Amino acid sequence: MALDRRSSVVVRNVAKVGAFLIYISSDYVFDGRNPPYREDAVPNPLNHYGKTKLEGEKVVLQNNEDAAVLRVPVLYGDVEKLEESAVTILFDKVQFSNKSANMDHLQQRFPTYVKDVATVCLQLTEKKLQNPSLKGIFHWSGNEQMTKYEIACAMADAFNLPSSHLRPITDEPVGETPRPRNPQLNCSKLEQLGIGQRTPFRVGIRESLWPFLVDKQWRQTVFH
């Protein structure tokens, strides 16, 4: 959601009280044609979501010069419903192996654990206290490159579930919202500051999805 005029006032008020603002943005501000993307790469969003995130970045930085923008890719973590994340929503197709499921095997993604993003925000804030000049745009991302098909297979592997019913599809999506093919983020700016945490995908996804494991027998196999 873009920041409107009222939100601009809020951003300015945050600056007045001296609070450090971190605006969470997205890798979708890039078109995915020339990865990996550094913070100074020219954005070129392909869809409405990417455009509104880029607009939000501009409003934040224009109204609070000491703020930070943190761009992250597709996120996953603890959810109340699987459909809350573009990653966790795939778990239903993974579990029900009696029905074949077509999975995109073209667009590249870097699933990132929300707990790692929270740690990065904390570390960035601590660095800001040490160095008040720290500001601007930063990137953070998981480092495991996967398509939706590979994400689903990794979920199956994490829970010792079958994956033969998952079918990789490499055709260009037709009639769907345009998405960047590979919006990989270069995270070296934060890494050079000593900031960062990456949880292996299979570890993070097990922590996030075990409450949604339907088959109790599988639950016992995985966790006992």
Q: Where are the domains of the chain?
A: 5-223
Closest CA to 57 of 20, 33, 30, 26: 26
Residue-level pLDDT at 113: 98
* pLDDT tens digit at each of 224 positions of the chain: 445 665 555 566 665 667 899 999 999 999 999 999 999 999 999 999 999 999 999 999 999 889 999 999 999 999 999 999 999 999 999 998 888 999 999 999 999 999 999 999 999 999 999 999 999 999 999 999 999 999 999 999 999 999 999 999 998 877 778 899 999 999 999 999 999 999 999 999 999 999 998 764 555 555 55
- Alpha-carbon distance of 90 to 147, in angstroms, equals 12
What is the pLDDT, as a whole number, of residue 172?
Answer: 80
Distance, in Å, from the CA atom of 26 to the CA atom of 116, rounded to the nearest integer, reads 15
159: CB partners within 8 A, 6+ apart: 94, 206, 209, 210, 213, 218, 222
CA 202 – CA 76 distance, rounded (Å): 12
Residue with tokens 């501009």: 58
Residue 193: predicted pLDDT: 96
pLDDT on residue 203:
96
* Residue 1: per-residue pLDDT: 44
Q: What are phi and psi of 201, to 5 degrees?
A: -55, -45
Domain 5-223 CATH (choose: 3.40.50.720, 3.30.470.20, 1.10.3720.10, 3.40.50.300):
3.40.50.720
Distance, in Å, from the CA atom of 155 to the CA atom of 42, rounded to the nearest integer, reads: 34
Contact call for residues 103 and 148 (beta carbons, < 8 A): yes
Using the structure block, give the residue that is written with the tokens 């199956």: 156
